């Protein structure tokens, strides 16, 4: 039953912390698949995760340029981030 779910339902994709984290995970998945020690179910899961991660990476790279933000110190001595 679980196995079928993994096959047909979209993976609950966790947004990576950073681009670096995504790449590291992709490398991990690649290494895991290469080792060939994953069961069929895990293979499917991490394959799906890998495809989702690579799509996420590409999306990140295609993102519109982010605005430059300013880091300033207020008169009260607080650090504040301001949009340009």
Partner 1 sequence: MLVFWEKFQLLLRLGGAIEKVWTVSELTRSVKENLEVNFPAIWVEGEVSNYLLHTSGHRYFSLKDESAQLRCTIWRGAGQYLNFELEDGLKVHAFGNLTVYEKRGEYQLNVLKLLPIGRGELEIAFQKLKERLFKEGLFDEAHKKPIPEFPERIGIITSPTGAAVQDMLKIFRRRFPPAELYLYPARVQGEGAKEEIVAGIQAFNEWGEVDVMILGRGGGSLEDLWAFNEEEVARAIYASRIPVVSAVGHEIDFTIADFVADLRAPTPSAAVEMVVPDKEELEGVVKGLKERIGGLFAHQLAQAQARLDAVLGSYGLKKPADLVNQKSQFVDELSRRAQLALSNRLAQMRLELKSADERLATLSPRAVLARGYSIVRRRPDGRVVREYKEVKAGEGVELIFSKGKAEAEVTRTLPEE
Nearest by Cα to 52 from 29, 75, 68? 29
Q: Do 69 and 84 contact (CB within 8 A), yes or no?
A: yes
Shortest Cβ distance from residue 44 to partner 1 (Å)? 8
Pairwise CA distance, residues 39 & 24, whole Å = 22
Q: Do 29 and 49 contact (CB within 8 A), yes or no?
A: yes
Residue among 14 and 24 whose Cβ is closer to partner 1: 24
Can you give the binding site for partner 1, defined by CB under 8 A?
A: 18-20, 23, 26-27, 29-30, 33-34, 36, 38, 40, 43, 47, 50-51, 54, 57-58, 60-66, 68-73, 79, 81
Shortest Cβ distance from residue 42 to partner 1 (Å)? 10
């Amino acid at each position: 039953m679980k196995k079928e779910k993994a096959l047909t339902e979209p993976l609950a994709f966790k947004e990576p912390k950073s681009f670096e984290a995504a790449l590291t995970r992709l490398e991990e998945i690649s290494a895991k698949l290469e080792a060939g020690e994953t069961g069929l179910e895990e293979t499917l899961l991490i394959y799906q995760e890998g495809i989702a991660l690579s799509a996420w990476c590409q999306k990140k790279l295609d993102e519109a340029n982010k605005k430059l933000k300013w880091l300033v110190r207020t008169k009260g001595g607080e650090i504040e981030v301001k949009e340009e």
